[in-house]
Amino acid sequence: MRARSIVAIAMVLTGCSAPAPAQQAPRAEAPYLDPAVPVSQRVDDLLGRMTLDEKIGQMTQAENSKLAPGEVTSTAVGSLLAVGDSTPPTNAPEPWADQADRLQKEALATRLRIPLIYGVDAVHGNQIVVGSTIFPHNIGMGATRDPELARKVGEVTATETAGTGFSWTFAPCLCVARDDRWGRTYESFSESPEVVSSMTTIIDGLQKGPNKVLATAKHYLGDGGTTEGSDQGNTELSEAELRKIHLPPFQEAVRRDVGSVMLSYNQWNGEYLHNSPYLVNTVLKGELGFRGFVISDWNAIHRIDGNKDDLTAQDVREGINAGTDMAMVAADSKQFMSLLKAEVEGGRVSMERIDDANRRILTKKFELGLFEHPLVDRALTATLGSAPHRDLARQAVRESQVLLKNEGNVLPLAKDGNAVFVAGKNADDIGHQLGGWSITWQGESGPTTKGTSVLEGIKSVAGPTTKIQYSKDGSGIDSSYKVAVAVIGEKPYAEYEGDRDTLPLDADDLATLKKLEASGVPVVVVLVSGRTMDIAAQLPSWKAFVAAWLPGTEGAGVADVLFGDHKPSGKLPMTWMRSSAQQPVNEGDGKDPLFPLGFGLTY
């Protein structure tokens, strides 16, 4: 009888296009819709109403451009993610918010009106959105050694992320990068598990600030420890070493009640993390007591059967049984749903497993307040790239600069009456100072968003009485200049596309440096890069050397340090190699690096 009355309510619910909760869902009939009911009871009530298809929907995450209009409703998918392909025709805050609301309204038109949780890689600010405030990548944040700053960055990131309709970020990356040849080194706060753990305060900023989003500790486990720094490779370590180096940041994240954990593409001694019931069920959910939900990485369960190109019953069965609660199956969401249904009906995935996954996911949806506030708060949309947010980013840039050499105190640069020649391919290129994971997945050269380049920062901080001359390749310099600033380093890359065997300066940078050095003017090098580089042979010709990492949109923070408005305070987050051949090189391994972990001069 009860079932029939629920069906009647459901018909009323789905028949209405614009939800008006109070009228449609009498509280007595649907405790899960009542915010006054404790979350665990709301979850139980809702679970009791759900069909198997609806439960499987909650465990599924599609990339939003891979679903046709209406398919969020018809498939009852529980989550979407946004990547470059998901970008609305105009990349700006309002269109992103409009798109999110449109998708959310489709979810609210399902039988039980369970809202979507919509995720994005907001890994240094909400950096997929043109006009957002983009912070230094994690390697620079690690250099600040400032956990309170990381917390504040988390708060601002949550505000800008929520302002475009995302309730979830796939951040922070808690990888402990042990080999700088790895293309994701810049996503790591440090090679030191202690430093990475200390920066998990960003989780509090994301999840507990005024505008909270769900955070993700990723990638569990051992992503930064693969052999030769090969992305998605094999981490060959004893269990004791794995626990000592790679587990502590996740322990700390769980202690801070991180809402989700993303599994890693890598293997541990030949076993995929996505198929490791020991590390996921036993260690993470059991031993560590993780009470959030586990998300798989992009099409990563596809690989379980040894073939990464298609999704099979084995991939789904073993992945879900090994502990994935929600599967990131970008374009294959419908296939995932039908495969998982068959596995459940065949008794190869238990209903207990399905209910456990749903309980974990729904608990977070309730805790986030998504049932009460499913749509975008447009007051937050207006804050993207606001002056106070950019000020915080500039502070982060300032604190992240690491001064590694300062012969004859050539720094700080004088402001009055100085004549400064600025050169280098990274001096006036916003895209380069953002790095990968910026507007697009790989990042790009050029003015991809609004920001201040290092050159523009130098001009504004130096003030009107200082002569600033710029030439990208260094041509035109002569002995009339008192100092030359060369802003050189890497171009953007992400993930495996950034893996390198060696890390030398490129030919353009070497040619620029040669011109500057030939003039006899003292040269200050600012290295914009996602990791340490092989510079030992060039360093003797430089008077001063600053590691700027990937500073983001606020290049003036670099200038604040060059001109002494902020005394350098950053400390190396990574041991600086003496040569590429020395990789991997880490604190305590007995090797003789160029600069040790924690090194950093000041004025």
Question: Of the two residues 65 and 314, which places its CB atom closer to ligand BGC in the complex?
Answer: 65
Distance of closest approach, residue 71 Cβ to ligand BGC, in angstroms:
19
Q: From CA 384, how far away is CA 405, in angstroms rounded?
A: 37
Q: From CA 144, how far away is CA 240, in angstroms rounded?
A: 29
Which residue's entry shows tokens 């405030």? 133
Distance of closest approach, residue 290 Cβ to ligand BGC, in angstroms:
18
Question: Of the two residues 121 and 560, which places its CB atom closer to ligand BGC in the complex?
Answer: 121
- 85 part of the interface to ligand BGC, by CB under 6 A: yes
Question: Of the two residues 170 and 563, which places its CB atom closer to ligand BGC in the complex?
Answer: 170
Q: In whole angstroms, what separates CA 574 from the centre of its chain?
A: 19
CA dihedral 422, 424, 429, 434 (to 10 degrees): -110
Q: From CA 423, how far away is CA 404, in angstroms rounded?
A: 20
DSSP letter (8 states) at residue 191: S
Query: Can you tell me which of 83, 331, 419, 468 binds ligand BGC, judged by CB under 6 A?
Result: 83
Q: From CA 233, how far away is CA 227, in angstroms rounded?
A: 7
Q: Where are the beta strands (DSSP E) in 38-153?
A: 60-63, 79-82, 117-120
- 170 part of the interface to ligand BGC, by CB under 6 A: yes
Q: How many CB atoms lie within 10 A of CB 432?
A: 28
Question: Of the two residues 121 and 180, which places its CB atom closer to ligand BGC in the complex?
Answer: 121
Q: From CA 480, how far away is CA 417, in angstroms rounded?
A: 12
- Out of 146, 297, 499, 554, the active site residue is 297
Q: Which stretch binds ligand BGC (CB under 6 A): 25-33, 80-88, 464-472, 585-593?
A: 80-88
DSSP letter (8 states) at residue 63: E
402-406 and 260-263 beta bridge pairing: unpaired
Question: Of the two residues 118 and 542, which places its CB atom closer to ligand BGC in the complex?
Answer: 118
Distance of closest approach, residue 496 Cβ to ligand BGC, in angstroms:
9
Q: Which stretch binds ligand BGC (CB under 6 A): 83-91, 473-481, 501-509, 513-521?
A: 83-91
Q: Which stretch binds ligand BGC (CB under 6 A): 77-85, 384-392, 446-454, 557-565?
A: 77-85
Q: From CA 467, how far away is CA 545, in angstroms rounded?
A: 22
- How many residues bind ligand BGC (CB under 6 A)? The answer is 10
- 121 part of the interface to ligand BGC, by CB under 6 A: yes
Question: Of the two residues 83 and 375, which places its CB atom closer to ligand BGC in the complex?
Answer: 83
Query: Can you tell me which of 21, 84, 504, 598 binds ligand BGC, judged by CB under 6 A?
Result: 84
- 490 part of the interface to ligand BGC, by CB under 6 A: no
Distance of closest approach, residue 326 Cβ to ligand BGC, in angstroms:
13
Q: From CA 20, how far away is CA 339, in angstroms rounded?
A: 35
- Out of 428, 495, 509, 534, the active site residue is 495
- 186 part of the interface to ligand BGC, by CB under 6 A: no
Q: From CA 164, how far away is CA 119, in angstroms rounded?
A: 11
Q: No. of H helices and E strands in the chain?
A: 22, 17
Question: Of the two residues 145 and 219, which places its CB atom closer to ligand BGC in the complex?
Answer: 219
Window 291-330: contact mask with ligand BGC (x via CB under 6 A): ------xx--------------------------------
**Hey, is 546 helix, strand or coil?**
strand
Distance of closest approach, residue 316 Cβ to ligand BGC, in angstroms:
19
Answer whether 245's CB lies under 8 Å from 237's CB: yes
Q: From CA 415, how far away is CA 557, in angstroms rounded?
A: 16
Answer whether 516's CB lies under 8 Å from 477's CB: yes
- 441 part of the interface to ligand BGC, by CB under 6 A: yes
Token pair in block for residue 585: 């090189």
499 is catalytic: no
345 is catalytic: no
Distance of closest approach, residue 85 Cβ to ligand BGC, in angstroms:
5
Which positions are catalytic?
297, 495
Name the site residues for ligand BGC (rule: CB under 6 A). 83-85, 121, 170, 218, 297-298, 441, 495
